[in-house]
Amino acid sequence: MEAIDNFFAQFVELAWSWPTAVLLLGAGIYFSIRTKLRPFTYLGHAFEVLMGKHPSKGDVGDVSHFKALTASLSGTIGLGNIAGVAVAIQLGGPGAIFWMWVTAIFGIATKFFTCTLSVLYRDVEPDGSTNAGTMYIIKNGLPKYMMPLAYFFAFFGIIAGLPAFQANQVVQLTNDLYFPNVENFEYIAGSILVVLTATVILGGLKRIADVSAWLVPFMGGLYFLAVLLAVLINYDQFFPAIGAHKDDDGGTDRGAVHILYMNTDGSVDSTVEINDSTTNGPELEDDDAFGRSVANIGDLDGDGVNDLIVGADKDNAGGANRGTIHIIHMNTDGSVKSTVEINNETTNGPSMSDQDFFGFAVANIGDLDGNGINDLAVGAYGDDGGTGVGHNSGAVHLIFLE
Block mean pLDDT (10 aa), the chain, length 402? 74 78 89 88 84 69 76 74 74 76 88 87 82 89 92 85 71 80 84 86 81 86 86 64 60 79 81 86 84 86 86 84 88 86 86 85 85 86 64 79 82
Residue 273 burial class via C-beta count within 10 angstroms: exposed 0-12, middle 13-18, buried 19 and up: middle
Which distant-in-sequence residues (6+ apart) come within 8 Å of 106 by Cβ? 25, 28, 29, 31, 32
- H helix intervals, 35-78: 38-41, 43-50, 65-74
Pick from 186, 205, 233: which residue ends a domain?
A: 233
What percent of the residues of the chain are helix, what percent strand, and what percent coil, each to the nearest 5? 45, 20, 35
Beta bridge partners, 366, equal 375
Can you give the pLDDT at residue 127? 76
Can you give the pLDDT at residue 386? 57
* Residues 152 and 268 grouped into a single domain: no
Region of 289 on the Ramachandran plot (φ > 0 left; ψ -120 to 50 alpha; else beta)? left
Residue closest to 401 by CA, chosen among 347, 337, 338 = 347
Q: At CA 159, angle to CA 190 and CA 19, rounded to 5?
A: 130
8 domain-assigned: no
Residue closest to 311 by CA, chosen among 362, 348, 251 = 362
Write out the residue range of the structural domain in which residue 200 sits: 16-233
Can you give the pLDDT at residue 140? 92
* Residues 224 and 259 grouped into a single domain: no
Q: How many domains does the chain have?
A: 2
Can you give the pLDDT at residue 136? 92
Can you give the pLDDT at residue 388? 47
Pick from 205, 233, 261: which residue ends a domain?
A: 233
* Residues 271 and 213 grouped into a single domain: no
Sheet with 268-274, strands from edge to edge, namely 242-244, 256-262, 268-274
